[in-house]
Structure 1
Amino acid sequence: MRRLTSSLAALLIAAGTLSAQTTREEPAPTGKKEKSHAGINLSLWKNIATQPTDTVGSTCLNLGLFSAMNRLNGLGVNLLAGVVRQDMNGVQAAGLANLTGGSMRGVQVAGISNVNGDHLAGVSLSGLVGITGNHAQGVIFSGLTNITGNRTGGIIIGGLLNITGGHSSGVHLAGLANLSGENFNGATLSGLLNIAGANMQGIQVSGLGNISGETMRGLQIAGLGNVTGGTAIGAQIAPLNVTKDGKGLQIGLFNYYKGNFDGFQLGLVNANPDTRVQLMLFGGNRTKLNVGARFKNRLFYTILGGGTHYLDFSDKFSASFFYRAGLELPLYKQLFVSGDLGFQHIENFKNKDHGFPARLYALQARVNLEYRLTDRLGVFVTGGYGGSRYYNRGVTYDKGVILEGGVVLFKY
């Protein structure tokens, strides 16, 4: 310990001598003259150093525990923290934090945080948080969060969040969410949410949802939903896809556009302001009593519903859930013909204890004739063919003709 103390003291004395040889008087911004040092700064603490903290010059080499200096043009290494009042050009490393009042150009590495008051250009690696007051460009990694006041570009990786107040570009990866206050260009991937406050051009991929406030050009993929407040040009792929206007492709369980859409929607339900939601009540020889919701556009429609007693009424309760998609065309005045293909899931519940399969699935085809009595009431008859099969083996359980009839309620 005595040797370490003696060696450090000798370094401080030597560096102080070198620093004194490079000292000159320079006018400070306040009008007072301050000492300007350019060279080496060895520091135990910000006030115990070979270079005073009130210098207006620059430092080319800084080694210490906790250092404060005017500018750093070179290398700065501190066990605790390094503070640069103006710009840092070079390499700055600290066990806890690096703080630069102006711009950083180069490399910053800190165990907890890198903070820059103005621009960042280069590489920033921090254990928890990286903060830049204005623009940030380069490779930025933080264990928790990256925050930029204006523009962000490059490869940005945050353990939880990447937040930019203005425009963003490049590749942004976050464990939780990527948030851009204005436009985003590039690829953004997150575990939960991606948000672009204005326009998005590129790719958004998230575990939960993607949101673009205005125009989306590119690809959105989400585990739950994609929402575009303006025009979506490209592809939206998620269980729920929503846009005001669109051109391209929507693939999901529920697809919706509010205005105009030039493209193709592929989903269980495709809806827009002109979609008519109609209630269907019908009976048949397969599932005896049924209720369904028909989502009808100009030509195409989809039906979601369920029914009871796939088996006979004399058996225990059984039920089914079905989905159908088809096309309808006019025949004569209020008479229409339609055809659809459907999938049906069948649950036999307690009937499985009496020799019936626990569950089945069926593929079916139907042709329907529908007559509209009024604007809110119609009647229809159906003929078709279908067969039910086991889920766990490629064997047909039964097959045959389908006969159904019922009514359609609500506005056409």
Structure 2
Amino acid sequence: MAVPAFAASLDVPHAHYGLSVGNSETFNGLRFNLADEDVKTIRGMNFTVFNWDGHYEKAYTLTANRIDGLALGVMGPRAREINGLALGCWLTNVGVMRGINIAPIHVIGGTTTGFTFSLVHTLKKLNGIGIGMVTNIEEESNGVLIGLLYLTAPKVNGVVIQGLFSGKVEEVTGLSLEWGSLAFLASGILAGLSVGPAPETSASPSFSPVGSKKLTGMMIGGYNLVKEQKGVLLGLFGNSIKKGSGLQIGTLFNTAESFDGVQIGFINHIEENPFLFRWMPGINFHFGGDAEEKENP
């Protein structure tokens, strides 16, 4: 049976400032409460221990409107807006966060500006630095984003650092560092530099390719798989593209369906070259546009 939060509070020396113990709705100073209910504005230091069973069943319920200062909680804190420092042992839930947000397990929020650390992020938008073992951004991230195990974001402006098993980032503008990736990595645009020598995993091809639909810039990886390339591909083992231009360097092999540029590697393949020059050792090249462009000027 759910136990309701206390509506009353003990406030010293005044009802709105000083020291408060209980469910004070508007207070400035030090405030301690077991479980928040319909809190309006707290300025100072707020410590809420946990939520009652009714709140636990609705884990995403926001029980406070605004907290300015230091927000602490064992299971929380939870507020529509937090400005300052938020520390919780589990499930920090905030609509808008400005400052530092740290929860060992699971940070849920709308827009976070500042520094966020958690084993799991589920944020709508991140501006600043986010560090999480599993990070999920619904809209975009501006700044530094570190995934470590897994990271998903439609768009990242700045620096992305993913480790072990990289997740899905659709568009990157800036610098992306990958160490170990799954085959569905970066199914969008990589503009800048992507680095990712990838180990073999059961969930991907032999060398777990660092891959994208479109590359503008430079990609460095164990095996680079790109649909459309403009720039430089450096592959420890090789590079594979459908259409591109620029430079491909791969220790073992390079392959392309349509390519304007130079390939350097042990074996090089350009499908649109004349039959005798499609497969070449050491170096291969093609200039002058692809067959489709010649047929449809």
Do they superpose with TM above 0.5?
A: yes
Given that residues 194 and 204 in structure 1 are in contact (C-alpha distance below 8 angstroms), is that contact kept between their aligned partners in structure 2? no
Which residue of structure 1 lines up, in the alignment, with residue 127 of structure 2? 153
Is the CA contact 2:244–2:258 (under 8 Å) kept in the aligned structure 1?
Answer: no
- Give the match for residue 84 of structure 2: 106
Task: Decide which of 227, 234, 248 is 2:218's aligned counterpart.
Answer: 234
Q: Are the aligned partners of 2:20 and 2:30 in contact in 1 as well (CA < 8 Å)? A: yes
Aligned with 1:207 (options 180, 187, 190): 180
Q: Secondary structure at the match of 1:231?
A: strand
Which of residues 227, 239, 242 is equivalent to 1:255?
239
Deviations 1:119-145 (A, max 9, x none): 211111112110112x212211113x1
Are the equivalent residues in 2 in contact too, given 1:232–1:243 (CA < 8 A)? no
Distance 1:233 1:60 in 2: 53
For 2:147, which of 174, 178, 184 is the aligned residue?
174
| 1:121 corresponds to | 98
Secondary structure of 2:161's aligned partner? strand
Where in structure 2 are the equivalents of 1:215-364 lying within 5 Å? 215-223=190-198, 224-274=208-258, 296-297=269-270, 298=273, 301=279, 325-326=281-282
Aligned Cα root-mean-square deviation (Å): 2.8
Shift of 1:80: 2.5
Report the CA distance shift for 1:217/1:207 in structure 2 as closer, same or farther (over 3 A): same
| Separation in structure 1 between the aligned mates of residue 163 and residue 94 of structure 2, nearest angstrom | 25
**In structure 1, what residue type is equivalent to 2:282?**
G
Work out whether 1:198 is the aligned partner of 2:171: yes
Choose between structure 1 and 2: higher strand proportion: 2
Instruction: Work out the CA distance in 2 between the residues paired with 1:177 and 1:242.
Output: 21
Residue pair 1:115, 1:131 contacting (<8 A) in 2 also = yes
Q: Which has the higher contact order (CA 8 A, sep 6+)?
A: 2
Return the alpha-carbon distance in structure 2 between the equivalents of residues 189 and 111 of structure 1: 24
- Quick one: structure 1 residues 265 and 107, their matched pair in 2 at CA, closer, same or farther if it must change by over 3 Å? same
Structure 1 residue 164 and structure 2 residue 137: aligned? Answer: yes
Q: State yes or no: 1:78 paired with 2:43.
A: no
Shift of 1:40: 4.1
Shift of 1:81: 4.8
SS at match of 1:255: strand
CA-to-aligned-CA distance 1:159-211 (integer Å, 9 cap, x gap): 2x111111213332234211112234213222201322234321221322441
Q: Distance in 2 between matches of 1:74 and 1:256?
A: 57
- Checking the alignment, whether the CA contact within 8 Å between 1:154 and 1:171 is kept in structure 2 is yes
Q: Quote the offset at 1:39 in angstroms.
A: 5.5
Larger Rg: 1
Structure 2: unaligned runs, 5 residues or longer: 1-8, 53-61, 199-207, 260-266, 286-297
**Alignment-derived partner of residue 14 in structure 2:** 18
CA drift at 1:62: 0.9
Aligned to 1:93: 72
Q: Deviations over 1:79-137 (max 9, x none)?
A: 3259652121110111222110x2211111111111012x211111112110112x212
8 Å Cα contact 2:227-2:242 kept in structure 1: yes
Q: Is the 8 A contact 1:61 1:75 kept in 2?
A: yes
2:63 & 2:84 partners in 1: Cα distance? Answer: 14
Q: Which amino acid aligns with 2:98?
A: A
Structure 1 distance, partners of 2:84, 2:248, is: 48
Contact between 1:81 and 1:94, CA under 8 Å: does it hold in 2? no
Q: Distance in 1 between matches of 2:14 and 2:91?
A: 32
> Structure 1 63/272 Cα, relative in aligned 2: closer, same or farther at 3 Å?
same
Between the aligned residues of both structures, percent identity stands at 13
Q: Can you give the 5+ residue segments of structure 1 that lack an aligned partner in the other structure?
A: 1-11, 20-36, 44-48, 276-293, 303-324, 330-412
Quick one: structure 1 residues 124 and 81, their matched pair in 2 at CA, closer, same or farther if it must change by over 3 Å? Answer: farther
Distance 1:205 1:231 in 2: 15
| Deviations 1:330-380, CA, capped at 9 Å, x for gaps | xxxxxxxxxxxxxxxxxxxxxxxxxxxxxxxxxxxxxxxxxxxxxxxxxxx
Distance, in Å, in 2 between the alignment partners of 1:327 and 1:176 is 37
Cα distance, 1:222 vs structure 2:
3.7
Taking the aligned partners of 1:199 and 1:205, their CA distance within structure 2 comes to 12
Partner AA of 2:100 in structure 1: V
Match of 2:291 in 1: none
Q: Aligned to 2:171, what secondary structure does the other structure show?
A: coil
Instruction: Check 1:266–1:248 CA distance in 2 against 1; reply closer, same or farther (3 A cut).
Output: same
Number of equivalent positions:
244
1:206 partner amino acid: W
What is the distance in 2 between the residues matched to 1:327 and 1:110?
Answer: 58
- Hey, what does 2:109 align to over in structure 1? 132
Give the SS at the match of 1:239: strand
Corresponding residue number in structure 2 for 1:312: none
Alpha-carbon shift at residue 241 of structure 1 (Å): 3.0
Given that 1:196 and 1:211 are in contact with CA atoms closer than 8 Å, whether structure 2 keeps it comes out as yes
